[in-house]
Amino acid sequence: MIFERLPQILAEALAERGYEAPTPVQAAVLEPEAEGRDLIVSAQTGSGKTVAFGLAVAPQLFGGADALPPARTPLALVIAPTRELALQVSGELAWLYGKAGARIATCVGGMDPSKERRNLAHGAHIVVGTPGRLRDHLERGALDLGQLRVAVLDEADEMLDMGFREDLEEILDATPEGRRTLMFSATVPRPIVALAKRYQRDALRLSTAGEDRGHGDIAYQAMAVAPADIEPAVVNLLRLHEAEAAMLFCATRENVRRLHASLVERGFQAVALSGEHSQSERNQAIQALRDRRARICVATDVAARGLDLPNLSLVVHVELPRDAETLQHRSGRTGRAGRKGIAVLIVPYPRRKRVEAMLRGARIAAEWIKPPTAEDIGRSDRERLLAALLQPVEVDEEDRALAARLLAERSPEEIAAALVHAHRARMPAPEELLDQGAEAPVRREGPRPGFEDTIWFRMDIGRRHNADPRWLLPLLCRRGHITRQEIGAIRIAANETLFEVPRAAAARFAAAVKRTAQADAGDEAGIEISAIDGKPREAARQARRGGPPPARHKAKPYRGKATR
């Protein structure tokens, strides 16, 4: 067994925690070819990498002896991107090295720095911390790295994404030349390679993430919706799955605040995590998730880093990740340690091609699904309800007495129906989506009722801008303050789209479009909409004769927003 090559005291600690065999990443760092070398390890979060680097640094800590030397200046340094991850790492190393008598000092933001300095002054074998706090202690002279034997960068790619490059460089520059350096990262982008080239020597690359960058225990799904349907789609996803714990990712603090408030108003047990929350508020939110008083966390990418929720089974990308690495980091919050998870991307219609390209680049096979309907949710509710009510339960005499009183007053069918009603009353209602996958309007022979006299309008986007009736219809309703029933035929060309509005509503529509226009906007407010003279064919003939050319949209391709 590979654990037999470890110091006996560590093997005993592993056995007490129920470890019978190493995970792939643990086995990789313990192979003879990795011993004593600098390492770049690609491993998914939740793969056992904390214990892996805890075992990998053992030779440097023990120095060939059977026991640790007295605690003075640190021999090992672990740098993590967030306070939560640093505390988690410290806890793992505490049980792993507890029998060996290791002293572990934790240095993270949000904690009392004077207490941390006292702990460092008393001596430590291992220091675990976040880049900013470690740099602060280093500059104040409280952290002495002169005798350091090994440095570990946990989730190195995230630390660079978060802007910690300068902090990391100052910390590593303060360590001895001959130290060993281990970098653990879910991905190995160019900035990681550059950092490794500067601070590592002949580093060995180890990868346990596999060739498929998608997580093996995560089922990826993608759902194309109209931009106005994003929030209702989120609600229906949560209701369909009723996950034990779910994480919803937004791009900005404002969107986190808005979505969190909307979910709480609907009756969901949700907490929010973003940069605007204090450390105390963040601690309370995380504790609520771990105590299962809350089941949903709405967060930004940065705020969720380092957060480990073992029961997390659903991740929803409410706003699309900026790249494949962010997609992987977000989704990797679920499907950990052999558990199955689902990651769903909510995709505004105009951005489907971009998402398909990102998935291909990430080598992720995502299933494209339709938004859940009220009927879908009803079926899932019935199955869950039956499973819950048919489970065997222990009852006492008081329960039996109350049941007897109920049976004396009501029939079994009435009691069962009341129980079902009570269960359903606690569940938020599903949302009706504006678009349930309806196809483009079909042009009938002759005008449909109400469209005998119409005005035609032009939009300066077409097929080359991913124009599609499924998202154009809600857009026109928002911009023009009209209903779907007041929009007639839609004709999409390469660079423009023509549509008709009844003459009775045309003036009101044109006035609303003018009020909602923003000339320099890169989203739907920047799309130019104007009336044309006559019918589409007449306008085309006029253009061929030298008339005014059709308008062309100069703004960026439409990026839908999650609006209500």
* Per-residue pLDDT at 444: 44
Q: In this structure, what token pair is assigned to residue 161?
A: 């994404």
The pLDDT value recorded for residue 198 is 92
The per-residue pLDDT for range 478-512, each reduced to its tens digit, is 888 888 888 988 888 888 999 999 999 999 999 98
Domains detected in the chain: 2-207 (3.40.50.300), 218-373 (3.40.50.300), 454-544 (3.30.70.330)
- For the chain, list residues with pLDDT below 70: 1-4, 44-46, 209-216, 305-306, 336-338, 434-448, 519-525, 537-564
Q: What is the pLDDT of residue 109?
A: 85
pLDDT for 45: 61
Give me the amino acid identity at 452. E
Match 């309907």 to its residue by tokens: 373
pTM of the predicted model over 0.75: no
Distance CA 513, CA 370 (A): 30
Structure tokens, 40: 């770049």
Pairing of strands 270-273, 454-459: unpaired
Q: Which pLDDT value is given to residue 518?
A: 76
- Nearest 5°: CA angle at 186, between 185 and 192? 45
Q: At what angle do helices 83-96 and 49-56 cross, to 10 degrees?
A: 60
Q: Give me the pLDDT at residue 407, please.
A: 87
**Gyration radius of the chain over CA positions:** 30
Of 92, 155, 147, nearest to 123 by C-alpha is 147
Interatomic CA distance for residues 527 and 525, integer angstroms: 6
Task: Check residue 112 and report its DSSP letter.
Answer: -
Start-to-end CA span in the chain (Å): 58
Number of H helices, E strands in the chain: 22, 18
Quote the CA–CA distance of 229 and 478 in Å, as a whole number. Answer: 12
pLDDT of 550 reads: 46
Q: Each residue of 265-295: pLDDT tens digit?
A: 888 999 999 878 877 888 888 889 888 899 9
